[in-house]
Structure 1
Amino acid sequence: MKTLLGSQDNWDVVENGHEEPVTTEGYTNAQLNALKVVRAKDKATLYLLYRAVDKSGFEKIANAKSSKEAWDILEKAKNGDERVKQVRLQTLRGEL
């Protein structure tokens, strides 16, 4: 996924996150355009994450508001799965 998002020039949005401003009052046109670009990158990245996961993964990230939030959820889920595998492996070794 990192490679795919990097090839789309979207990995920085996942890595750094995107804080949605409360208000854009007082923003210059350049700042508004930059915000628009970041929003588009964040939503495109979130879409790619939605497309890359199976049904159970999608259910975990469906309510994520940003691509960074979705990535963090998936990362925690993967680490949890790895821990379960290690515990099962240790149990099987103990049984042998």
Structure 2
Amino acid sequence: MSSLTKQISVPIFSGQNYDYWAIKMKTYFQSQKLWEIIEEGVTLPEDSSTSSSAEKGKLENKKAKDSEALYYIQTAVADHIFLRISVATSAKEAWSILQKEYQGSAK
């Protein structure tokens, strides 16, 4: 039996209609269980030497999800906008940069 997978195309933000793009991206991130990472980010423990292996595993999972979400954001913007978020080291930071610059604007 073959398995069918549906490839979802992520909308590309070109600098216009940010609010529409952001809604679509938020829905996409929610469907992939990544939205929490964008909203909350990844908080590193002050002293990781006292963390249990389960806690370390959860942290590694969050870091991987953050990298995945950052990748989706980076690939969902036009090249001239990518330059603005290229310094972001987390999905939360990249999302925040875009939000501050474009949210509510008619750009």
If the TM-score is normalised by the length of the shorter chain, which range does it land in? 0.7 to 0.9
TM-score by length of 2: 0.70
- The structure with the greater share of residues assigned to helix is 1
Calculate percent identity across the aligned residue pairs: 37
| CA offset digits 1:23-45 (Å, max 9, x no partner) | 52111010010001100010000
Rg comparison, structure with higher value: 1
User: RCO (CA 8 Å, sep 6+): is it higher in 1 or 2?
Assistant: 2
RMSD: 1.7
- SS of 2:63 mapped into structure 1: helix
Q: How many residues align?
A: 83
Runs of 4+ in 1 over 4 A off after TM superposition: none
> AA paired with 2:92?
K
**TM-fit CA distance, 1:22:** 5.2
Q: Which runs of 5+ in 2 are unaligned?
A: 1-24
TM-score by length of 1: 0.78
- SS of 2:44 mapped into structure 1: coil
- Which residue of 17, 21, 26 corresponds with 1:2? 26
